[in-house]
Homo-oligomer: A and B are copies of this chain.
Amino acid sequence: MPVPAPVLYPPFNIVRLSHVEFAVTDLAASRAFYVDTLGLQVTYEDKERIYLRALEERGHHCIALVKSDTPVVNVLGFKLFDEPDLEKAKAFFDKKGLPTAWVERPYMGKTLRTCDPWGIPLEFYVKMDRLEPIHQHYKLYKGVKPLRIDHFNCFSADVNGAVDFYNEIGFRTTEYTEDEETGHIWAAWMHRKGGVHDMAFTNGLGPRLHHTAFWVPNPLAIIDLLDLMATTGYLHNIERGPGRHGISNAFFLYIRDPDGNRIEIYSSDYQTVDPDHEPIKWDLKDPQRQTLWGAPAPRSWFEEGSIFTGVELKESHLKAQPIIAP
């Protein structure tokens, strides 16, 4: 079963993924991880929350950390192209029978909160406070030198359904894994902004957030981060990598934040702006799709993910399909 044809004129215009909000249990520990170790920049903080941006970003934040008793993902945020897209988005989700609400968010203009059919909490906005560029303030470059948020990846118990839904709102598939025995899509990578993905889905107990990725300038920044984490008490936060993905061709590293949220450090995928850019199909049995060099991912990588607020996971999803690739 091939992926659906791209929708060139979607119902509303999503520019790119924008930000994630994590409810975290220890704000100081999260700050030590995201700021002191990864090198993200604080744009606001008080005792309850911290906002962060990466070094080439001008929007106010790509991560919001809010203090909580329980770790959970509060929202995946996306930037829309123009004001009318907000109303068009609302109309689309209303028509689908999904809950919509205009919400107030600090540092952001009019914001639509909704969710996808499986419950992933989504927010869409056009305006976020713009900050002065800091990409040439090189004294700020530390840790892994994170330049920008790159993508989300979610576990899904219905990848085919997810691909259809996100395709309908304009995400174009760049690569996908097919289970040739069943004909089902095992995983798919879908973009808006011209890279390999803004959003990906992979078969598993879902919906859960598999990881959030940051773009860094080159593989040496990732090696620097590994050396730093390995010698500053974060050895066990290193989960997988470094390596080259078959899918996306990016150089990668997966690490875990203090609450277990998985962060991918990602570099050097490729440009996909052509509307006739053909998706690449991978066979589920090809181990090089995950790591071109052949190293397997650890079990935790296939099994563990972050819970979205308000989502009740159903055991049936877990039973229905194996969550570890053969």
At the interface with chain B, which of A153-161, A162-170, A242-250, A256-264?
Answer: A242-250
Could you say which of B226, B238, B294 contacts A238, with CB atoms under 8 Å apart? B294
Contact A242 B244 (CB under 8 A): no
At the interface with chain B, which of A112-120, A130-138, A206-214?
Answer: A130-138
Contact B274 A58 (CB under 8 A): yes
Which 5 pairs, one residue from A and one from B, show the smallest C-beta to C-beta distance?
A: A138-B227, A218-B218, A56-B270, A138-B228, A230-B292
Main secondary structure on chain A at its contact with chain B? loop
- A277 proximity list for chain B (CB < 8 A): 58
Total interface residues on A, using CB and 8 Å?
57
- Whether A139 sits at the interface, judged by CB under 8 Å, is yes
Nearest-Cβ distance from residue A114 to partner chain B, whole angstroms? 22
Contact B275 A15 (CB under 8 A): yes
- Whether A25 sits at the interface, judged by CB under 8 Å, is no
Contact B271 A244 (CB under 8 A): no
Contact of A139 with B271 at beta-carbon distance under 8 Å, contacts A218-B218, A219-B219 already known: no
- A98 proximity list for chain B (CB < 8 A): none
Q: Give Cα distance in the complex from A277 to B135, angstroms.
A: 14
Within 8 A of B (CB), among A110-150: 127, 130, 133, 135-139, 141, 147-148
Contact of A228 with B139 at beta-carbon distance under 8 Å, contacts A130-B276, A219-B219 already known: yes
Contact A230 B218 (CB under 8 A): no
Nearest-Cβ distance from residue A132 to partner chain B, whole angstroms? 9
Mask of A265-287 contacts with B, CB within 8 angstroms, 1/0: 00010110111111010000000
Mask of A26-61 contacts with B, CB within 8 angstroms, 1/0: 000000000000000000000000000000101100
Contact B270 A226 (CB under 8 A): no
9 A-B pairs with CB atoms under 8 Å apart are: A8-B81, A135-B249, A135-B270, A141-B228, A217-B268, A219-B223, A227-B244, A230-B244, A230-B292
A residues contacting B by CB (< 8 A) are 8, 15-16, 56, 58-59, 79, 81-82, 127, 130, 133, 135-139, 141, 147-148, 193-194, 217-220, 223-224, 226-232, 235-236, 238, 242, 244, 246, 249, 251, 268, 270-271, 273-278, 280, 288, 292-294
Apart from A138-B232, A229-B293, A242-B242: 6 A-B pairs, beta carbons within 8 A: A8-B82, A56-B249, A56-B270, A127-B276, A136-B227, A139-B232
Closest to A246 in B: B136
Nearest-Cβ distance from residue A31 to partner chain B, whole angstroms? 16
Contact B274 A141 (CB under 8 A): no
- A138 proximity list for chain B (CB < 8 A): 224, 227-228, 230-232
